């Protein structure tokens, strides 16, 4: 029964993660403003949960605060590029190009941990980028679809770097504490943007920002972390491959963004490469980071 409950938590968390991309189309605000609202409400929610659970918030070493600050900055860049990708192109292109991050992780790990790079990792990376070529219908810099694809790949790269930093520096802290610090730092860093731009936020957009921050970010992170207590990392990794599937399906239903044959074929190739890379790495002892 406990395992079934944890599996349900993982599935629900992945569903919420997948649907978060739709907010890039639903909220009539610039991408950076969406990120600012997301991290503000998510960090407040996570702080409330940590205080309610009486979890320690102070870090062990002064340098850990600097590391958290760096990862918070990287998170702000990651989510900004993610929503840029979706706003410029489609939910499908944004999600699928971002989903290449596990391949980046496998490819970059040798630099971070002084490990040998295998031919397998290079082949998987080439296969995934072959899928990207199919997902992006045209490679013209003036095309918004192409620009969106590039932003999506950059989003995947920055999240891969964030994942590797999480693995290298923050093993001593619970995932929810790490998530709180990263999002709180991202919120603080984006305050100047809010002050300078002073965007006019409609009531409907504010409600969506609250939902994105609390339900689709804070609660989703909490569910995912709780689920990992009784679900194998490998199982969670396989379930996580459904994230872009959920997002694309709901974008088709509610936004009428129907992916073409090329996008579907490229998506299958990318997800197959990602699932293989993720499962292989988990079998060999590498844990995934906090989700998108």
54 occurs within a structural domain: yes
* pLDDT computed for residue 233 by the predictor: 63
179 occurs within a structural domain: yes
pTM here is 0.86
Q: Is the pLDDT of residue 286 over 80?
A: no
Q: Is the pLDDT of residue 66 over 80?
A: yes
167 occurs within a structural domain: yes
139 occurs within a structural domain: yes
292 occurs within a structural domain: no
Start-to-end CA distance of the chain, whole Å, equals 28
Q: Mean pLDDT across the chain, nearest whole number?
A: 85
Cβ proximity of 72 and 184 under 8 Å: yes
- CA neighbor of 37 nearest in space, from 184, 186, 210: 210
* pLDDT computed for residue 130 by the predictor: 78
* pLDDT computed for residue 65 by the predictor: 93
* pLDDT computed for residue 120 by the predictor: 75
- Domain extent, residue 87, equals 2-283
290 occurs within a structural domain: no
275 occurs within a structural domain: yes
List the structure tokens of 12: 């629900």
Into how many domains does the chain fold? 1
Query: How far is residue 153's CA from residue 99's CA, in Å, rounded to a whole number?
Result: 8
Q: Is the pLDDT of residue 289 over 70?
A: no
pLDDT tens for 73-131 read 999 999 999 999 999 999 989 998 898 887 787 778 777 767 666 777 777 777 877 78
Query: How far is residue 76's CA from residue 56's CA, in Å, rounded to a whole number?
Result: 24
Cβ proximity of 67 and 181 under 8 Å: no
* pLDDT computed for residue 285 by the predictor: 54
289 occurs within a structural domain: no
């Amino acid at each position: 029964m406990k395992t079934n409950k944890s599996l349900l938590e993982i599935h629900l968390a992945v569903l919420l993660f997948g649907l978060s991309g739709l907010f890039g189309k639903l909220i009539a605000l610039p991408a950076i403003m969406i990120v600012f609202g997301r991290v503000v409400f998510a960090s407040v929610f996570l702080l409330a949960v940590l205080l309610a659970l009486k979890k320690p918030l102070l870090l062990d070493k002064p340098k850990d605060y600097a590391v958290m600050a760096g990862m918070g900055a990287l998170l702000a860049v990651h989510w900004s590029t993610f929503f840029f990708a979706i706003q410029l192109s489609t939910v499908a292109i944004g999600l699928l190009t971002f989903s290449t991050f596990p391949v980046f992780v496998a490819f970059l790990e040798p630099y971070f941990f002084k490990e040998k790079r295998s031919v397998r990792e290079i082949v998987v990376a080439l296969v995934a980028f072959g899928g990207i070529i199919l997902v992006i219908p045209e490679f013209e810099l003036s095309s918004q679809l192409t620009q969106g694809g590039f932003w999506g790949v950059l989003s995947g790269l920055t999240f891969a770097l964030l994942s590797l930093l999480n693995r290298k520096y923050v093993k001593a802290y619970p995932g929810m504490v790490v998530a709180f610090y990263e999002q709180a730092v991202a919120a603080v860093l984006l305050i100047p943007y809010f002050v300078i731009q002073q965007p006019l936020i409609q009531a409907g957009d504010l409600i969506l920002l609250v939902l994105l921050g609390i339900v689709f970010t804070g609660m989703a992170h909490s569910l995912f972390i709780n689920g990992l207590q009784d679900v194998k990392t490998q199982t969670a990794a396989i379930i996580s491959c459904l994230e872009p599937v959920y997002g694309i399906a709901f974008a088709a239903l509610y936004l009428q963004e129907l992916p073409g044959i090329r996008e579907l074929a490229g998506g299958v190739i990318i997800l197959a490469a990602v699932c293989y890379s993720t499962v292989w790495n988990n079998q060999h002892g590498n844990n995934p980071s906090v989700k998108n």
